[in-house]
Amino acid sequence: MSVLKSIFGQDVDTTSSTYLGKPTSRVDGPAKVTGGAKYAAEFNVPNLLYGYIVSSGAARGTIRSINAAEVEQVSGVVKVFTHDNAPKTAYLDRSHRDQIAPDSGSPFRPLYQAELEYSFQPVALVVADSFEAARYAASLVKVEYDLKPHETDLRANLGKAHPPTDTRAGYVSAPKKPRGTPDEAYAAAAHKVEAEYSQPIEFHLPMESYASTAAYGEDGKLTIYQKTQGVQNCQEYVCSVFGLSSGDVQVISPYMGGGFGSGLRPTYDIYLSVLAATALKRSVRVSMTRQQMFSFSHRPEAIQHLKLAAREDGMLDSVTHTAIEETSQNEEYLETVVNWSGLMYNCPNVRLDHQLVNLDLASPADMRAPGAVTGLYAYECAVDELAYQAKMDPLAFREKNYAEKDQNADKIFSSKELREAYRQAAARFGWKDRPLEPRSMKKGSDLIGWGMASGSWEAMQGKAAAKLVLTADGKLLASSATSDIGTGTYTVMTMIAAEFSGVAIEDVTFQLGDSSMVYSPVEGGSWTVSSVGSAVKTVCGELRARLFKLAGKVDGAPLGDATIEDLTFANGAMHVTGNPVRNVTYTEALRAGKLDRLELDTTELPQLAKQATHALYSHSSVFAEVSVDEDLGTIHVNRVVSAIAGGRILNPKTARSQIMGAIVWGISMALEEEGMLDDHVGRFMNHNYAEYHIPVAADIHDIEVIFVPEHDEVVNPLGAKGLGEIGMVGVAAAVTNAVWHATGKRVRSLPVTLDKLL
């Protein structure tokens, strides 16, 4: 194992900020490493019952019988819930749709009907007075099915592909009409590529399994400790599904052991824990097994067809990109897959098409950089193929076709330092020495290859609120109902609050993960800093204004006739800039106003008018070196350099961790990950960490992360674009392009396992 490196230098903020832009360790680090941080399955309440989920062994058919009554006789068992006896929940599909659900699907309802929807779906919940009893009794549950034929094979069902009929917030459908005349341009072009790329189903698989501890209060109110990326989304869902009033349900999720999108929508453990708790009027915990972590969400399998063409001089002239993805029978999972191909490089003639095939599988779900990772894997590989056709260096090809505006929407970018990202990453990597021809570099029995790709992700902002409580001791408590899925939300929000309130960072606490806090959208899509962070910034501005007003009441008027613009707010005090003696501490200001606390909140909305005229995106430029054993096909990724243009970098330390993790995941996608579906039984077979491969330490070598400076006043008040997704986009393409450069073989189906190179 070699060292993971990163170079800063450029990314340390040069504006006169106190905290932002400075590498800052996680404020929740000590709690996490000492076990003080509690996760959903660790909240113990008195008289807790334990629910163990029984999963179906078949994909399609009808449940004929379940020996529930028999299992209820087992010592310790309180109840066995099945579709036969589960209390009825809301009738309408609408009531089961959470904030992230497609607009008009029928979300999966556990224990709702005898009809099976997919293999491994929950079919019973055994509730007992100990986990062991529940687990044992669950092993005695016998389910008999009348089987029906199922369809889980995307390729075999391509004939059923259809354009999406549904919509969902954030989904940008492919343009209905082509831009220009892609067919004519393709026919006339000097250089052409036509190829199909496929990728398997991949799973989120966070370390922490989903768990829900529904504490049933004496007053019948529910406090639910839940693993989720959106406490308020879960709270609304539970109220709507179970007909509970919002005052009676509180959802709490202070920590999350990874989400990656799997917890954006309420997972079936919360449905089952609430179902059991309300039916039994007892507190109930339901947690998933590792195997069940393969049973409710995934990145959809995709088969993509690309036709690209360039003119003699290497100008990109035609793009046709069709992506076909699977979804479940009950919902159309929608992610933006092909639009990126009309955006990345200049091209006058573009046709984009996104289609779906309904299969007997669980609904897919957003998974790190959903859509972009898929679409740009295929597109960036095809671009590499085209550049080689044109006998051009793939970086030179991209620079030549650099897009100065978003041609899909005909808008200029709010900022786009991708050119600089190319320059810095290429220099660091040593790209200029790359031979154009594949199979040009060798070391012992290994072939060496260099590949690159670029990526893009939307810089989104949503409505969000933040609340502040400043107390007489000068301490500031900030909060919002967002979550920290491991990305460092606690830390960055603490930094933002300290920066803009002028309270020293040691005196600032940020709280999140409680549905009773002020509004926040789910944490996903890299929009938390931009949405919640902007709200924190704004409310801090309001706090300063209030404190300034109060300061006027302080005896002797130390600030004189200074206006708020004349003041510096820092270390829990305001002073006349350049004259620190003329100051008022926040404590003094509160005392002067006869207040023991100051409480205020605000809701921040995106500045739509400003944003609407611009295209808002982050960008990446990724370079990879692989070595491939020529005889055995084993691949090692020796090094990766990634330069990110992601707006202002608020915390370079956690930012770098985000990008490094994303690069590891990109390597994983390129070389290892595959949900192995047995279409005969309609079931994933490698449902554990031993057989579903993700990289181990020995697979990961040098990784360098560069942040290029990017100034952006449009994207949001912080100028930060969010970094959760962008680091992964393009990595799989860079690695597979490097494999081609090493071997001369284009492997167009992921993962590139060694057998595909023999």
Partner 1 sequence: MINFSYSRAGSVAEAVGAKGKADGAGRFIAGGTNLVDLLKENVERPCAVIDISRLPLKTIEEAPDGGLRLGALATNADTAYHPEVQRRYPALSRAILAGASAQLRNMATNGGNLLQRTRCYYFYDVALPCNKRQPGSGCPAIKGQNRVCGVLGTSDDCIATHPSDMCIALAALEAAVRVSGPRGERTIPFAEFHTLPGHTPDIENTLAPDEIITAIDLPPSPYAGHSVYTKVRDRASYAFALVSVAALLDLDGDTIKSARVALGGVAHKPWRLPEAEALLTGKTATKENFLPVAQALFAGAHGYEHNFFKIELGKRAVVRALQLAARGTAAIKGVNGQTADA
Catalytically annotated residues: 725
Using CB under 8 A as the binding rule, whether residue 28 contacts partner 1 is answered as no
Among 3, 92, 581, 698, binds partner 1 (CB under 8 A): 698
Using CB under 8 A as the binding rule, whether residue 207 contacts partner 1 is answered as no
CB of 707 to partner 1, least distance (A): 29
- State how far Cα 682 lies from the chain centre: 27
DSSP state of 202: B
Q: In what order do the strands lie in the sheet with 446-458?
A: 441-443, 446-458, 617-629, 635-645, 700-707
Question: Three-state SS for 147?
Answer: strand
Using CB under 8 A as the binding rule, whether residue 745 contacts partner 1 is answered as no
Question: Three-state SS for 277?
Answer: helix
Among 366, 417, 446, 458, binds partner 1 (CB under 8 A): 446
CB of 159 to partner 1, least distance (A): 22
Question: Three-state SS for 251?
Answer: strand
Query: Which among 270, 261, 292 is positioned nearest to 119, based on CA atoms?
Result: 292
| CB closer to partner 1 out of 240 and 295 | 295
Q: How far apart are CA 690 and CA 693, in angstroms?
A: 7
Among 6, 24, 55, 618, binds partner 1 (CB under 8 A): 55
CB of 443 to partner 1, least distance (A): 9
| Stretch touching partner 1 by CB under 8 A, among 9-17, 351-359, 439-447, 512-520 | 439-447
* Angle (CA) 337 462 721, round 5°: 70
| CB closer to partner 1 out of 56 and 534 | 56
Using CB under 8 A as the binding rule, whether residue 676 contacts partner 1 is answered as yes
Helix then strand then coil, in percent of the chain rounded to 5, is 30, 25, 45
Using CB under 8 A as the binding rule, whether residue 432 contacts partner 1 is answered as no
Name every residue whose Cβ is closer than 8 Å to that of residue 230 and which is 6 or more positions away in sequence.
99, 100, 263, 264, 483, 520, 521, 522, 523, 524
Beta bridge partners of 704: 641
Using CB under 8 A as the binding rule, whether residue 639 contacts partner 1 is answered as no
Q: In what order do the strands lie in the sheet with 211-216?
A: 77-82, 122-128, 49-55, 284-287, 211-216, 222-226, 249-252
Using CB under 8 A as the binding rule, whether residue 60 contacts partner 1 is answered as no
Among 53, 127, 133, 574, binds partner 1 (CB under 8 A): 133
On whether the CB atoms of residues 713 and 611 are closer than 8 A, the answer is: no
Q: How far apart are CA 222 and CA 225, in angstroms?
A: 10
CB of 139 to partner 1, least distance (A): 5
CB of 55 to partner 1, least distance (A): 7
Amino acid at 491: T
DSSP state of 616: -
Using CB under 8 A as the binding rule, whether residue 697 contacts partner 1 is answered as yes
Using CB under 8 A as the binding rule, whether residue 709 contacts partner 1 is answered as no
Among 76, 180, 258, 558, binds partner 1 (CB under 8 A): 76
Among 132, 144, 437, 599, binds partner 1 (CB under 8 A): 132
Q: In what order do the strands lie in the sheet with 579-585?
A: 567-570, 573-576, 579-585
| Stretch touching partner 1 by CB under 8 A, among 16-24, 462-470, 525-533, 677-685 | 677-685
- The number of residues that bind partner 1 (CB under 8 A) is 43
Using CB under 8 A as the binding rule, whether residue 629 contacts partner 1 is answered as yes
Residue burial 127-146, b: 16+ Cβ < 10 Å; e: rest = bbbebebbebbbeebebebe
Residue burial 509-526, b: 16+ Cβ < 10 Å; e: rest = bbbbbbbbbbbbbbbbbb
Q: Is the dihedral of CA 580, 586, 588, 592 positive or negative?
A: positive
Neighbours of 389 (CB within 10 A): 18
Using CB under 8 A as the binding rule, whether residue 30 contacts partner 1 is answered as no
Among 691, 711, 713, 744, binds partner 1 (CB under 8 A): 691
| Stretch touching partner 1 by CB under 8 A, among 173-181, 207-215, 376-384, 687-695 | 687-695
Among 440, 509, 634, 749, binds partner 1 (CB under 8 A): 634
| CB closer to partner 1 out of 419 and 756 | 756
Using CB under 8 A as the binding rule, whether residue 632 contacts partner 1 is answered as yes
| CB closer to partner 1 out of 133 and 547 | 133
Among 88, 176, 594, 680, binds partner 1 (CB under 8 A): 680
Among 9, 247, 444, 578, binds partner 1 (CB under 8 A): 444
Query: Which among 18, 138, 23, 149 is positioned nearest to 70, based on CA atoms?
Result: 138
Among 139, 165, 577, 579, binds partner 1 (CB under 8 A): 139
Binding residues for partner 1, rule: CB under 8 A, are 55-57, 75-76, 132-133, 136, 139, 444-446, 627, 629, 631-634, 636, 671-672, 676-678, 680-681, 683, 685-688, 690-691, 693, 695-699, 753-755, 758
